[in-house]
Amino acid sequence: MKFRTFASFVGPSVFLMLLFIAFPLVSVFTQSFQLTQPVMTTVEVETCTPGFLTQTCTTETKTVPKLTATGGVETTTTWVGFRSYQNVLQMDKVWSAVGAGRLGDILQIDFWKALRFTLTFTLITLPLVLIVGMGIALAVNNAAASLKGQIIFISLLPFIITPVIGALSIRWLFIGDGILTVALENLLERDIAMFAQGWTIEILMLFYRVWHVAPFAFVIFYAGLQTVNQDTLESAIIDGASRWERLRFVVIPHLMPLIIFISLIHLMDSYRVFEEIVGFTSQAHVISLQWLTYDFLQPDDSGNRAIGRASASAMLTMIGIVILLVPLLRRTWRDHRGSN
C-alpha cells in the first residue's frame, strides 16, 4: 500500500485522536502543576436603606474578582509543582493517622475515601459481570431455538437503558415508600431505610452495575460460544467428561481472549464510575474518584474552581486505570507473541 493511500485512511483517525485525546491529556497534565486563581480587587460599595426622608447610606469595602474588558474574571496562573497532588492526597494526615494507629481516619479523607469505593466497586463487579454474563450465554445457547429470540431481547433490556435512568429506577424502587421497600417492610415487619447508611447504598450500586453491564458480557460470550469446536466437545463427551469439565477445559480456554477483552472494557469503565453516584445521590455517604474530580470543578462561594486539584485528581485516576490494566495487557501481549 502506498504511503499516500495509507495516510488517507489513517490520517483522519490520528488527527481526531490527537485533537480529542492527546491534546486534552497534555493540557490536564500541565494544569495539575499549576494554580489558577482570580485576580482580586478592593472596591467600595454603597448600600442605602429604603425611604426618602429617612434614607441612610453606608459605605463598606469589599474584595471582589477583577473583571476583564469582555466581562470575564481575570485570572493568574503560577507553577506550584506537586502542591495540587499534595492537596489531593493529604499525605501528612495519612502519616499522622498511621502513626497514631487510627487507620479509619484515612478513609475520612476525600481522595482515599473515593479510592476505597472505586477499587471495591471495580474489583467486586468484575467477576460478577463475567459469571452472570457467562451464565446467561450458556443458558441461551442451550435453550430451544424458538425461545432464543425472546430471551436475548429480554436479556439486553438493562444494557439499552440509559445509565442514569437505570440508576434512578433502582433508587426509586427502594427509597422512602418505594415498591420494594414497602414489600420488605411488610415481610420483615420493621421499618427499612435503604439510603440512610453507606453500605446499603453500595450494595444497591453494585447490584445495578452488574444488572446493567452483564448483558454486554452475555452478547460477547454468546457470540464466542458459536465458534467452539464441536468435534472437541463431542470427543470430551465420548471420553466421559462431565458438563462442568467440558466448560472448564474446553469452553473457558476457548473464550479466554473474550474474557480478557470484557475485563479490559469493564475495568476502564468501572474505575470511572460516575453515573451511579448521580443516580443514587450518594455523595453524603459514597463518592468515587470521578465524582471527586467533578466536585473540584464546582465553583465555591466566591466562584473559584480548583482546576489544579481537579487535574491532579484526574491524573491519579488515569494512573490507577493503567495499574489495573497492566496484568491483562501483559497477558494479551504474551498470547499475541505466542500465536506468532
Q: According to the model, what pLDDT value does residue 340 have?
A: 61
> What's the DSSP call for residue 67?
B
Evaluate if residue 336 carries a pLDDT over 80. Answer: no
Residue 74, pLDDT score: 77
Asked which of 19-33, 77-91, 163-177, 306-320 is least confident by mean pLDDT, the reply is 163-177
Does 46 map to a domain? no
Written as nine digits, the cell of 61 is 469595602
Among the listed residues 28, 41, 27, 31, the one whose alpha carbon sits nearest the alpha carbon of residue 73: 41
H helix intervals, 226-242: 230-238
pTM across the whole model: 0.83
pLDDT at 339: 64
Mean pLDDT of 75-91: 89
Q: Is residue 237 part of a domain?
A: yes
**pLDDT band at residue 85 using 50, 70 and 90 as cut-offs:** very high
Residue span of the structural domain in which 249 resides: 110-295+306-339
What lies within 8 Å, CB to CB, of 130 at 6+ separation is: 217, 259, 262, 263
- How confident is residue 137, by pLDDT bands cut at 50, 70 and 90? very high
pLDDT in tens, 246-269: 888 889 999 999 999 999 999 999
pLDDT-derived band of residue 1, with 50, 70 and 90 as boundaries? low
Alpha carbon 330 to chain centroid, angstroms:
23
Q: How many domains does the chain have?
A: 1
Distance CA 201, CA 189 (A): 21
Q: Which burial class, exposed, middle or buried, applies to 292 when counting CB atoms under 10 A from its CB (0-12, 13-18, 19+)?
A: buried
Tell me, yes or no, whether 22 lies in a domain: no
> Is 133 in contact with 216 (CB distance < 8 Å)?
yes
Listed ranges 163-167, 202-206, 236-240; the one with the highest mean pLDDT: 202-206
Q: What is the mean pLDDT of residues 158-174?
A: 85
Per mean pLDDT, which of 65-69, 174-178, 325-329 is the most reliable? Answer: 325-329
**pLDDT (tens digit per residue) in 218-228:** 999 999 999 98
Burial class of 316 by CB neighbour count within 10 A (0 to 12, 13 to 18, 19+)? buried
pLDDT value at position 100? 87
The Cβ-side half-sphere exposure at 187, using a 13 Å CA radius, reads 7
Mean pLDDT for the stretch of residues 221-239: 88
- Residues 65 and 300: beta-carbon distance below 8 Å: no
CATH of residue 251's domain is: 1.10.3720.10
Burial class (CB in 10 A: 0-12, 13-18, 19+), 212: buried
Q: Does residue 290 belong to any structural domain of this protein?
A: yes
**How many Å apart are CA 35 and CA 305, to the nearest integer?**
10
* Helix and strand counts by DSSP (H, E) for the chain: 15, 4
Would you state the pLDDT for residue 197? 80
- pLDDT of amino acid 279: 87
Encode pLDDT of 101-134 as tens digits: 888 888 889 999 999 999 999 999 999 999 999 9
Element (H, E) at 48: strand 40-48
CA dist., res. 158 & res. 316, Å (int)? 31
Q: Give the pLDDT score at 136.
A: 92
Indicate the residue type of 184. Answer: L
Q: Is the CB of residue 137 less than 8 Å from the CB of residue 315?
A: no
Question: What's the pLDDT score for residue 164?
Answer: 83
Query: Would you state the pLDDT for residue 300?
Result: 75
Task: Tell whether 322 is covered by a domain.
Answer: yes
Classify residue 330: in a domain, yes or no: yes
Q: Report whether 34 contacts 76 (CB < 8 A).
A: no
Nine-digit cell at 4?
499516500
Q: Considering the domain boundaries, does residue 13 fall inside one? A: no
Q: What pLDDT is stored for residue 10 in this prediction?
A: 85
- Could you give the maximum distance between any two Cα atoms of the chain, in Å? 107
Instruction: Say how many CA atoms lie within 13 Å of 137 toward its Cβ.
Output: 25
Look at residue 135 and tell me whether its pLDDT is greater than 80. yes
Q: Are 304 and 80 within 8 A, CB to CB? A: no
Task: DSSP letter for 55, please.
Answer: -
Question: What is the per-residue pLDDT for 117?
Answer: 94
**pLDDT the model gives residue 86:** 92
Q: Is 9 contained in some domain?
A: no
